[in-house]
Structure 1
């Protein structure tokens, strides 16, 4: 009887230990599940907020794209209107004519004012001499005047030509007789980029098309090729870098010197992605800061 009781006590002790271990495991599992639930709650909250943000952005972009606009935005800013640019940029009178509404009458002299700064070439159309015969009596007709018909603006495509630069050299014959060589060469303008075939006009066209007309270099490459010059985008990129270093960076530095002397400045921060930036992946976010003086600052405009 004593041995049986002892065995029973031992069995109860083992069962109690197993139960304690099981309870500990359950508590650990519950704690782990609670942590998982909190993590899922946090993720769910983040996704919910992000979804709300995306819905707001989507609604905003839809309003910008399809809603009624209070002002006309240039296509170069938003790049949203690729097919209706003509309708956005044309005069309102033309749209009224298309919709069969009566167009407003333009003020007299507007066209002449717009064409005053252009060169005018007079082109007169005449009748062949053999056709200057009166249909009534058959006699030869005589000129009595001419009539103005209309203006036409004529566009001439860009033309390229190569300017071969030479300079004359002079020698002193009197010194040569005495065994001395005295030469004099005419001066020539320094190249805009050393050891390059570009000219100020060609370089300025690349810069204007790139930064004013927003034309990428690969499109410029095709345009130059149509004009007869096989100009690679690599060469144009080199021109831009050298020109910025030699001509524009000194101007920027001078503008910076003037700006830091101001009491008040305006600034704008724009996030950008920069490729091949040392020490940073291409997906990282960089920033571009633009500073300007205030409108009331007369000194900045006088010193630049």
Structure 2
């Protein structure tokens, strides 16, 4: 789970149910608040977003209505979309490994397990597959295709030795690029 100390800024977002906004709003009363916490990221800092969801009861029937959690791109995740994007950019664009991102979170007063970070990265990558598939489909429909075979050393051929692998960026006439990799 997500744990954080008092030094971490918490931004409170109050969600008001539709029942309290309509013409029959006087038929309901607020009897409590449920809070959902998500870890968000701003450049060079972290925030915890606290969504306060009002628990309401219909006055006439004493029926308590459920308070839905706010939408998130990853269901049942403590990570906000800003945190997911920040992690993926740090990992894949800036080559910041997860253990260093974990250390940075700890230095900011946030406790989140490394396995949770790995799960967030894996689920975030899964969200990108439709984009890659659409780009590859568009490239393959192009009139002109280009490919560059770039040799790289990756994977282990033996103790202390890397094996020859290839990195293939595929280009279409629409300036889209899809990368494939083979070892």
| The one of 92, 105, 110 aligned to 1:211 | 92
Q: Which residue of the partner structure matches residue 292 of structure 1? A: 171
Q: Which residue of the partner structure matches residue 174 of structure 1? A: 60
CA spacing shift, 1:199–1:169, aligned 2, 3 Å: same
Bigger proportion of residues as strand: 2
Matched, 1:222 2:103: yes
Q: Which residue of the partner structure matches residue 136 of structure 2? A: 256
How far did residue 187 of structure 1 move? 4.5
Unaligned 5+ runs, structure 1: 1-156
Unaligned 5+ runs, structure 2: 1-42, 178-183
User: Deviation digits for residues 180-207 of structure 1, max 9, x if unmatched?
Assistant: x4x4445442223233211122222211
How far did residue 285 of structure 1 move? 3.9
Contact 2:153–2:162 (CA<8 Å) still a contact in 1?
no
Aligned residues: CA RMSD: 3.1
User: Deviation digits for residues 220-249 of structure 1, max 9, x if unmatched?
Assistant: 22222211123344322221111111x201
CA spacing shift, 1:161–1:262, aligned 2, 3 Å: closer
TM-score by length of 2: 0.58
* Matched pairs, number: 132
Matched, 1:201 2:82: yes
Relative contact order higher in (CA < 8 Å, ≥ 6 apart): 2
How far did residue 215 of structure 1 move? 1.6
Bigger proportion of residues as helix: 1
Q: Which residue of the partner structure matches residue 268 of structure 1? A: 148
**3-state SS of paired residue (1:262):** coil
Contact 2:73–2:81 (CA<8 Å) still a contact in 1?
yes
User: Deviation digits for residues 250-286 of structure 1, max 9, x if unmatched?
Assistant: 10011111111012122122345247xxxx9895544
Contact 1:167–1:185 (CA<8 Å) still a contact in 2?
no
TM-score by length of 1: 0.37
Contact 2:149–2:168 (CA<8 Å) still a contact in 1?
yes
Matched, 1:190 2:76: no
Distance in 2, matches of 1:258 and 1:190, equals: 31
Distance in 2, matches of 1:199 and 1:188, equals: 13
